């Protein structure tokens, strides 16, 4: 009987460990998806802003549209997750310190 209780305790511990691992894996999934969504949205707006400036000019309505979209994407991520994706630096930022004029250097190149 004593041997059965050791097996039972070990089995219960293994089941608890697997359950905890599963919970932790799925608990992190929504955050990862949200991060991917924010990163993708900001990267798309940033890319499209660069393209609009290159093809239509810095002060074009297309550039202004994507400048606005980039601002909105950054604001959404900041307001929801208190961080935003810095596409140029390829990193997450935890300060509300982006510059809506950070693409002004594009004006000199086109």
61-80 pLDDT, tens digit each = 999 999 999 999 999 999 99
Q: What are phi and psi of 28, to 5 degrees?
A: -85, -15
Contacts by 89-95, CB closer than 8 A, 24 or more apart:
92/35
Q: What proportion of the chain, given as a percentage, has pLDDT over 90?
A: 55
pLDDT-based confidence at 22, cuts 50/70/90? Answer: low
pLDDT-based confidence at 109, cuts 50/70/90? Answer: low
44-64 pLDDT, tens digit each = 999 999 999 999 999 999 999
Stated pTM of the model: 0.65
Angle, vertex CA 70, rays to CA 65 and CA 73, nearest 5: 125
pLDDT at 63: 97
**Separation CA 57–CA 71 (nearest Å):** 19
Q: What are phi and psi of 101, to 5 degrees?
A: -110, 20
Q: If we measure between CA atoms, which residue out of 24, 1, 60, 87 comes closest to residue 9? A: 1
């Amino acid at each position: 009987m004593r041997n059965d209780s050791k097996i039972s305790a070990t089995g219960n511990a293994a089941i608890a460990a697997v359950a905890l691992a599963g919970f932790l894996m799925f608990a992190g999934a929504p955050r990862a998806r949200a991060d991917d969504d924010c990163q993708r949205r900001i990267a798309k707006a940033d890319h499209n802003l660069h393209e609009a400036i290159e093809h239509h000019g810095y002060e074009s309505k297309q550039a202004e549209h994507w400048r606005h979209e980039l601002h909105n994407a950054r604001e959404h991520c900041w307001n929801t997750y208190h961080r935003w994706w810095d596409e140029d630096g390829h990193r997450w930022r935890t300060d509300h310190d982006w510059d809506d004029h950070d693409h002004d250097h594009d004006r000199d190149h086109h």
